A and B are shown apart, each in its own frame.
Chain A
Amino acid sequence: DVKVTQSSRYLVKRTGEKVFLECVQDMDHENMFWYRQDPGLGLRLIYFSYDVKMKEKGDIPEGYSVSREKKERFSLILESASTNQTSMYLCASSFVRIYNEQFFGPGTRLTVL
């Protein structure tokens, strides 16, 4: 079975802090994604990566950056956390065709105070 893990289930940070969310997948997937999920808005794509060191902006990249130094690991960085970044963050991975089935991690509930 594909396993996608995220570094934390719950995280509380203060405004202005730098926040790192990490995601690891064990199926050698080329594609990795970061989403945020907010009530009534559905999943919104922040960034995705189709290869090591490659990244593409999604629909809402502002205030975020990403890093993919190894194929299995995709990190989301909030350079200076703000309260409007309080959300559920979901990582996913898939094989090379972007519209293949995505496998999701359990999510990180981030609260920014």
Chain B
Amino acid sequence: GQNIDQPTEMTATEGAIVQINCTYQTSGFNGLFWYQQHAGEAPTFLSYNVLDGLEEKGRFSSFLSRSKGYSYLLLKELQMKDSASYLCAVRSGWGAGTKLIIKP
């Protein structure tokens, strides 16, 4: 969606931490979603933020600032299986996704 911006591609090392940013513009904010999509597969839900702050779920955390129209997905202790695209979504649509490449 043209109102949602994410980096196209990021590279990180196995075992490290990576932060994927998402900025958005939308009217009537109802929350922000992050989905993971492995190549050739369907997107699967990761997280949902509707209030400001950090939501932690195991190795993955998601942060939201409504006033700044900004979110990030934080992935810790990266594993090779985390190589995938990460999609940010709000009411106005979906970001194009960030392809995350994990190197040994």
Chain A positions near chain B (C-beta within 8 angstroms):
4, 40-45, 59, 90, 98-99, 101-107
Contacts and interface: CB of A to CB of B under 8 A. Distances in A.
A40 B48 contact: no
Interface of B: 1, 4, 8, 30-31, 33, 41-45, 48, 87, 89, 91, 93-97
Nearest to B29: A99
Contacts of A102: 43, 45
A42 B8 CA distance: 11
Given A42-B94, A43-B87, A99 B30 contact: yes
A87 B31 CA distance: 28
Given A99-B30, A99-B31, A43 B42 contact: no
B42 A106 contact: yes
Contacts of B93: 42-45, 59
Given A99-B30, A105-B42, A106-B42, A43 B94 contact: yes
A101 B48 CA distance: 8
A11 to B, nearest CB: 15
A19 B43 CA distance: 24
A106 B41 contact: yes
Contacts of A43: 43, 87, 89, 93-94
Given A42-B1, A99-B91, A106-B41, 13 more contacts: A4-B42, A40-B8, A42-B4, A42-B93, A42-B96, A43-B43, A43-B87, A43-B89, A44-B93, A102-B43, A104-B42, A106-B42, A107-B41
B4 to A, nearest CB: 8
Contact of B87 (A42, A98, A106): A42
Contacts of B94: 42-44
A44 to B, nearest CB: 7
